[in-house]
Each structure stands twice: as structure tokens, then as C-alpha cells.
Structure 1
Amino acid sequence: MSETSFQQPDRRRPEPLWFQVEEAIRAIVKSGEWATGDQIPAEDRLCALFGVSRITLRHALRNLEESGLLRREHGRGTFVRSTTLVAGTRELTSFTQEMGHMGVVAGSRLLDCSLSKADAIAAAALEIEEGDPVVRIRRLRLGNDEPIGIQTALLAGARVPGFLDSGLLQGSLYEALEKRYGIVPVEARENYRVGTVAAADAELLGLAAGMPAFVVERITTDERGPFEFTVSVMRGDRYEIRSTLRAGRVAANNRN
């Protein structure tokens, strides 16, 4: 790799040095100079190339690892990993927004968009009657053009009249819903479970049928109530759940 690829932080800028290093590494990966699976230079070499301390560099590398861009293997080094969506404490955002926050280019391929009838599960989630109309949107979700998961979203038909003829499936669905119908998400409840990739989805996801997957069910509401019920099947090798646990006050007091 050419050493001219490394943009040293500008100490006159208001952004912290670690943030500038983090963004510089993201740019190198995005350019393709570091490809998926590549081992990045050792810490001491990166410190010299970026002109920063080891503490600053480690701060940047830790953030990149937590966001799923890098993978650290003890005794081996740090590698560029395949696109990974890391789920944890986060804001209520669309897939497009969430991927953007991770420095990943979101994409999707529309697999189906049709009008159907709510089954018992969807009716309960959307607080409508079984058999009521729902708009079914099935999409292959991509990150940097690589398959991450398949999402099937059901929208309460009464909330989105004329949706099928609106051409709203380009870009973020939430942005489109806000512009046309005034629907602004305020809360979402998610349930995670481990499942397997169905035969019908295997080829789309680039996996063998039966491989592990995360199944995520999400009910999203606005001020009027539930408007969306989504079931996502996410690749087990490109989706992580990460959380931080802290001791409660009682436990902390017991150590005093």
C-alpha cells in the first residue's frame, strides 16, 4: 500500500484526533485499498503513518471494531471484515440511516410489493382485524453491495392508501412515509431470536439453506399507534448484537 493513502490528522481542526484517524481508515477501506479479509498494518506502524499516539489509535480502532468494519483476532492482528450490522443501543432509524451511521452504503433490491390480508400475527402486531388489508414489501438488504438480510415489512393498509401506485420504494421507506402520509416513527419494539436460512432465501443471501441467521421482529409506531410490522432474516455472519452491561447500585455498594 502506498503511504500517500494515509491522511495525517490536522491538529488545527476541531475534531478529535481519534475521530480523524477513524474517518481516514474508513476512507481507505471504502476506496478498496484494504479489501475484506485484509490484515491492516500493526499498531506501531499505523501510529507512525498517522503521526498519533497509541492511545489515540486504539480509540479509533476500537470504534471501528464496534461498528463492524474491523475484526481483531488475538495473536493474529486486525482484519477488515465483511459488512456487518451491529445491533445494540441505538436510535430509532431506518435501515438506510443506520447503515449510513456505520459508514456503509445501504442498498436494497425489491423482491415483492403487493396488497395482501393480515394474518393473526400481523393483525395483533398492527392492532387491526385479521383479514384487513396490509401492504407487503419484501426486500433484499445490501451493505456495500453485499447481501445482509431479507426484510418483509407489512404496513397497515388503512394508513397508507394508494401506496402501491405511489412509487415510494426508492431510498428510505420512513422518509417516504413521512413525506406522503405524515407518519413519523416514535417508538419500535424489537424481538431477536436465532433461526436458520430457508431454502427460498438461501441463494439471495449467498448462503446454504439451514445456515444460522438472526430473525428480528419489529413493531414500529407513531403517535396514532402501530403502522409497520417487519420480520427480518439477517445473515448470522454479518449481523451482531452487542450491548454493555453495568453493575447496579446495590452490587456496586457491596464492593465498598
Structure 2
Amino acid sequence: MTDIVTLEKPDRRRPEPLWHQAETALRGLIERGEWTAGMQIPNEDRLCELLGISRITVRHALRNLEEAGFLRREHGRGTFVRAATMVAGVRGLTSFTEEMKTLALSPGTRLLEARLLAADQEVADALEIAAGDTVVQLRRLRLGNGMPIGIQTAHLPEARVPGLYEAAHEVQSLYTWLKENCGITPVKAKEVYRVGRVAEADAELIQQAAGTPAFEVERIAYDRGGPFEYAISTMRADRYEIRSTLHI
């Protein structure tokens, strides 16, 4: 277990709630690398002492950090810093790059392959184009803090994204590039999550053994002109979570 010699205590004179100040202080330790992945953090009593706040306030801050993917609690053992983890649930429509930044993870993308090809029936139906129409296919390795999170294969109608194939090696945030160069701004997306396994061809890239359970995510993204992206992703199950809040 790690401890902290000094930690900025919440200031009751500030307008921000005490739990928010505590959350920010603890999150800073993770972002600065003072608390590293897999490290056990001090228990609630010690955090109350270090921060000068109540147990309820500490629990509020810890719960928010856990929900954001920074911490994990293990029953009977304690609370630990998570490895880079992407948490999916109720959220706005964002690019992978934007989502990584929201989770305070450094986004990274490695282009594995860019191709022009004729759309098969599955891709054509998803993009509402004719089978045989030309699409740009981008196969990319997605990274968070330098560690592989998933592999994504995206298809976009060439007629709507002129210049993308030629610029593919320079594109980091696809949605930013589409907005700036093609006037495409996403307005909604449909996603389907399935349980799958890491393919043998992807095992080395994603740093997991072939056959390891993984999430398969199918996504169709739309702007006001209709669907512009059909993507299939394989996401590491140990670095990607799905959480939902259910209401009566």
C-alpha cells in the first residue's frame, strides 16, 4: 500500500463542494503518476485524516473516481489504481480521442492499414449506399496512455470523405478531420455490444492471447446527411467496461 506525505486539503472557503475538491486532489495524484496502475491507495480512515474531511465526503470522491475508471475496489482487499480503462455507458457522442481525454488518458492511434475497396452488402446497408460503391477502410490500433485498448476497422463512403484516403496516415482524430475537411459533424450513433474473442491476427497488436474474451462493438455514426461511418471494434475486456444506470 502507498501513503501520502502531503496532500492539499479541501478549503471550506472555496465555492466548490468538498467532495469535488477531494476528488480533484486524488485524481491529480493519478494523472501525475504519483499513484501508478495497480497501486493500492490509503484506506478511507487515512484519507479522512490526510484530507481533513468526513468519511461520507471521502466516499463520494472515491465513488466518482471509480465510476470514471480511475480506481477499482476489491472486496476485502481495498482500493487500487486502475490501468488505462475506457468506460462505456450513457455518454455524449464523441470521438475516441475526445473520450480518452475525458477519462484523462492520453489518446493514441496507430494506422495499421488504409484501403479503397468496393462495399460489400453489409457495409452498403449500414452506410445506405449501393453495394459496390467505393469506401475508405481504415484499420487502426487505439491506445490509452500508450497501452492498447482496441482495434477498430472503419468504413466511410469515399464520395463523402474526399481526401481521407490520401491523408489517412496523418489523421489522429477522425471526427476532427471530417469536420474540418468535409463539413461532417456527428449528430447521433447507434452501437451494439457483443461478447467476442481476440482474433489470432490481432493478438500480438492488442497484447492478448488469441481467443481471450473481448467486446465487439458495432457502430454506425450519422450526421445530418445520413450515415457516414460504419465501424467494427474489438476492445480489450480488461481495459473497457460497460456501465448502465437503470431507473424504474
- The TM-score by the shorter chain falls in which range? over 0.9
The answer for the alignment partner of 1:12 in structure 2 is: 13
CA shift at 1:14, angstroms? Answer: 2.7
The answer for the alignment partner of 1:104 in structure 2 is: 105
CA shift at 1:2, angstroms? Answer: 4.5
CA shift at 1:167, angstroms? Answer: 5.5
Amino acid at match of 1:22: E
8 A contact 1:190–1:217 mirrored in 2 = yes
* Distance in 2, Cα, partners of 1:52 & 1:136: 53
The answer for the alignment partner of 1:250 in structure 2 is: none
8 A contact 1:104–1:143 mirrored in 2 = yes
8 A contact 1:17–1:56 mirrored in 2 = yes
Equivalent residue pairs, number: 246
The answer for the alignment partner of 1:3 in structure 2 is: 5
8 A contact 1:26–1:103 mirrored in 2 = no
The answer for the alignment partner of 1:217 in structure 2 is: 218
Whether 2:87 is the aligned partner of 1:58: answer no
TM-score computed with the length of structure 1 as normaliser: 0.92
* Distance in 2, Cα, partners of 1:98 & 1:54: 31
Output the aligned Cα RMSD.
Answer: 1.4
Residue-by-residue CA offset, 1:220-246 (whole Å, 9 max, x unaligned)? 000010000011100011111110112
* Distance in 1, Cα, partners of 2:161 & 2:171: 16
Please list every run of at least 4 consecutive aligned residues from structure 1 whose deviation after the TM superposition is greater than 4 angstroms: none
CA shift at 1:130, angstroms? Answer: 1.0
Q: Secondary structure at the match of 1:3?
A: coil
Q: Secondary structure at the match of 2:126?
A: helix
The answer for the alignment partner of 1:151 in structure 2 is: 152
The answer for the alignment partner of 2:240 in structure 1 is: 239
Q: Which runs of 5+ in 2 are unaligned?
A: none
Distance 1:51 1:170, change over 3 A: farther
The answer for the alignment partner of 2:167 in structure 1 is: 166
Q: Which runs of 5+ in 1 are unaligned?
A: 248-256
8 A contact 1:151–1:230 mirrored in 2 = yes
Residue-by-residue CA offset, 1:163-212 (whole Å, 9 max, x unaligned)? 22236743321111111111000010000100000011011111000000
Q: Secondary structure at the match of 1:244?
A: coil
CA shift at 1:51, angstroms? Answer: 1.6
Whether 2:223 is the aligned partner of 1:226: answer no
Q: Secondary structure at the match of 1:57?
A: helix
8 A contact 1:168–1:176 mirrored in 2 = no
TM-score computed with the length of structure 2 as normaliser: 0.95
Which stretch of structure 1 is more off in the superposition, 36-45 or 9-18?
9-18
The answer for the alignment partner of 1:253 in structure 2 is: none
Residue-by-residue CA offset, 1:131-184 (whole Å, 9 max, x unaligned)? 111111111111111111011111111101122223674332111111111100
Whether 2:205 is the aligned partner of 1:204: answer yes
CA shift at 1:96, angstroms? Answer: 1.0
Q: Secondary structure at the match of 2:201?
A: helix
* Distance in 2, Cα, partners of 1:167 & 1:203: 23
Matches for 1:111-150 after TM superposition, within 5 Å: 111-150=112-151
The answer for the alignment partner of 2:87 in structure 1 is: 86
Identity %: 61
Q: Secondary structure at the match of 1:71?
A: strand
8 A contact 2:114–2:168 mirrored in 1 = no
